[in-house]
Amino acid sequence: MLSDHQIFKAPLAVNTKATIRIRTPNAFAAELTASEVEVLPLVDGIRRYNTVINDYKQGWCTYYYEFADVPEVEFFCGGVNEKTPRAAALWRQGNLLHFGFEQSASEMNATGRAMLVNSVAYISRFTEDRPIDVTPSVFGAEPVGTTRRRAGYFTDATKFPDYRVEWLTTTFSTVALREFDSRDRAAATAWFQQARPWLHPGPGNRLEVDQEAKSLGVQFDSPEFFSKTILALRDEMTAAKAATLLARYAPEGPGASADADTWAKWWKDNAPYLFYSEMGSARIHPSRQAVTISVSLETVTA
């Protein structure tokens, strides 16, 4: 899918209408009901579109939609891939631009070369921006925590009829798996829908219920997280759990040993710049770029 974005217009015009229709890739069939999709070829001489992924060097695509709602993210287009039609091939976060097409400029056609040139020209504008989300590497020692959005795919039997319930054992912790029958899709779905507000990455980044958050009735992705948790921090009966939650979900804050007044001040100072990201292991981060700009403007005003 191509967006109507200036990256396709300058400095070189890309004819986004010069698409051809191909059979819907097998990997897209679960989400796209049409028998054909439109694509814009970036290389010439493609003979078999049904095997194009294996006939050419494969690039990289990203599940950008997992953090599409955080600041400074733009999606430009996807590409034919073996994962999902929603995966992004060309997108930006801060001053980081992902150009996922593997072919060199000499291997591309005029359309591909224009997109590459335009991408370099476009990202060069963002000299003051930074990628502000925190996402773990898939090549790290621990598995990457699954977002609740993705973990919940198994609940939609219509869209994902071939989902294998044994995959749940790689998504949920052993503690969570004891709470439902992972071999019974209906039972697992009922449990997930009830537990979803409290699911977070536990040991090994497997999802499990955050018992501290559930016991306090505080949802960590809610706008009321700080007000409710700081209030609980002032009550000696709930202070320990509240301190744990604040340190867990706002790791850039003053820390688990800080008192309620210190947390309240930090929240007041950073509230306009905070954003929640589930790709970053369910954390609340301040946009340092926005904070820096704000401080600079205050200095200029003074």
**Mean pLDDT, 10 residues at a time, over the chain (302 residues)?**
84 94 90 92 90 88 74 88 90 92 96 98 89 72 84 85 84 95 90 97 94 97 96 98 98 97 97 85 76 40 36
The shares of helix, strand and coil residues in the chain, as percent rounded to the nearest 5, are 40, 15, 45
Residue 140 lies in a domain: no
Residue 91, phi then psi, degrees to nearest 5? -160, 170
Domains: count for the chain = 3
**Peptide linkage before 41 cis (omega within 30 of 0):** no
Examine the fold and report which residue of 180, 209, 238 is the final residue of a domain before the chain moves on.
209
| 72/48 same-domain check | yes
> In this structure, are 249 and 181 located in the same domain?
no
User: CA-to-CA distance for 61 and 25, rounded, in angstroms?
Assistant: 15
Beta strand 274-277 with 73-77: parallel, antiparallel or unpaired? Answer: unpaired
Angle at CA 242, nearest 5°, toward 237 and 243? 110
Show Cβ contacts of residue 34 under 8 Å, excluding neighbours closer than 6 positions: 24
Report yes or no on 111 lying in a domain: yes
Q: What crossing angle do the helices spanning 260-270 and 225-233 adopt, rounded to 10°?
A: 160
Boundaries of domain holding 115: 6-123
Q: Are residues 290 and 243 in the same domain?
A: yes
Chosen domain end from 123, 157, 181: 123
Residues 17 and 98 in one domain: yes
pLDDT at site 143: 80
**Residue 111: both structure tokens together:** 């359309």
Asked which of 157, 191, 209 is the last residue of a domain, the reply is: 209
- List of E strands, 169-242: 199-201, 207-209
Q: Which amino acid is at 98?
A: H
Residue 103 and residue 38 share a domain: yes
Please check whether residues 176 and 227 belong to one and the same domain.
no
Regarding whether 181 and 76 lie in a shared domain, the answer is: no
Q: Is residue 247 part of a domain?
A: yes
| Predicted local distance difference test score (pLDDT) of residue 235 | 98
Q: Could you tell me if 246 and 265 lie in one domain?
A: yes
- Among 207, 195, 145, 31, smallest CA distance to 187 is for 195
Residue 251 lies in a domain: yes
Give residue 295's pLDDT.
Answer: 40
**264 and 189 in a common domain:** no
Tell me whether residue 274 is in a domain.
Answer: yes
Token pair 């054992």 in the structure block, residue: 169
In a domain, 137, yes or no: no
CB 282 within 8 A of CB 249: yes
Question: Are both 248 and 297 inside the same structural domain?
Answer: yes
Looking at the fold, whether 205 and 221 belong to one and the same domain comes out as: no
- The pLDDT of residue 269 is 95
As a whole number of Å, the CA-based R_g of the chain is 23
Residue 139 lies in a domain: no
142 occurs within a structural domain:
no
The whole-model pTM stands at 0.73
Are 17 and 118 within one domain?
Answer: yes
Residue 47, pLDDT score: 87
